[in-house]
Amino acid sequence: MLETKKVLMCPPTHFRVEYSINPWMQGEKVDFVRASEQWIRLYEIIESFGVEIKTIKPEKDQPGMVFTANAGLVHKNKVILSNFKHSERKGEKQHFREWFAKNGYEVHELPDRMTFEGAGDCLIHENELIVGFGQRSDFIALDRAAEILGLDLIQLPLSNPSFYHLDTCLKVLGTHKGQKVGYYYPEAFGGAMPFGDSFSLFPIQLTDAMAFACNSIQIGNNVIIPAGTSSTRDYLKWYRYDITEIEMGEFIKAGAGAHCLVLSI
């Protein structure tokens, strides 16, 4: 079972949608009050499950910092900082670099020629690094990340621009009888099943995928999922997970859900 014991979050003080780097970003005006309420509610839920929450100061010219999952990838005391694909987010790196260095992490950086978007495209499960490539992160960067962290690499090709990060279309919940169990959206992988026999996954419906069902947060037996994900909710109930639903509408305007707002550290 996956566990999240400490996370990094960034208040949505400067969150807005003023550029477009994915199909979800259509210039919709963000309701700051609602976004703040949704973020605070998520913070309170995570904290109520006994998770320690650290925060980083939001920077006025970096509205994407609120999505800390994209800041890098953390394993034990090592962090590999992201090299963002789009220029609009490249400025975040220096702020996360300073935070991790100040807080005692062993900071690693990949060559600038490699694009890498951290926990958005990477999932650590036991001794494996499950990664999505083809949209934001380069395969060579993901291979290098696995080497730095000493993890076995499982690579999955992403083919749908609307599901541009692995955490928008795949959720691994744990292991049962030697197989990784969870759920996924098939069309994010071109309708194919790029997973080997070590996976046993439930295919979710488009409506759930569009509500960012895969972009959920697991804390022990608790799963925090966006509202409006009925088939996924039923699947989780069947397997006796405790479910907490949360409104994420303001962040979906930027193509993000609950998981995008936290980075396991």
| Number of independent structural domains in the chain | 1
Mean pLDDT of the 32-48 span: 98
Tell whether 98 is covered by a domain. Answer: yes
Tell whether 80 is covered by a domain. Answer: yes
User: Considering only CA atoms, which of 97, 9, 96, 10 is closest in space to residue 53?
Assistant: 9
- pLDDT value at residue 107: 98
260 is catalytic: yes
Tell whether 1 is covered by a domain. Answer: no
Q: Global pTM? A: 0.95
- pLDDT value at residue 3: 57
Mean pLDDT of the 198-207 span: 94
Asked if pLDDT for residue 75 goes beyond 50, the answer is yes
Kindly report the backbone phi and psi dihedral angles of residue 72, in degrees, each rounded to the nearest multiple of 5, phi listed first.
Answer: 170, -165
Share above pLDDT 70 across residues of the chain, in percent, rounded to a whole number:
98
Mean pLDDT of the 233-249 span: 95
Asked if pLDDT for residue 1 goes beyond 50, the answer is no
Q: pLDDT tens-digit profile of 109-123?
A: 999 999 999 999 999
- pLDDT value at residue 196: 84
Calculate the alpha carbon distances from 193 to 135, 170, 184, 201 in Å. Answer: 18, 12, 10, 10
Tell whether 244 is covered by a domain. Answer: yes
CATH of the domain at 156: 3.75.10.10
C-alpha torsion sign, points 15, 20, 22, 24: positive
Asked if pLDDT for residue 4 goes beyond 80, the answer is no
Mean pLDDT of the 163-182 span: 95
Q: Where are the alpha helices (DSSP H) in 86-222?
A: 87-90, 92-102, 139-149, 206-210
Tell whether 39 is covered by a domain. Answer: yes
Tell whether 143 is covered by a domain. Answer: yes
Tell whether 11 is covered by a domain. Answer: yes
Q: 27: pLDDT confidence band, cut at 50, 70 and 90? A: confident
What range defines the domain where residue 29 resides? 6-264
From 165, 169, 214, 259, active-site residue: 165
- pLDDT value at residue 10: 98
Asked if pLDDT for residue 79 goes beyond 60, the answer is yes
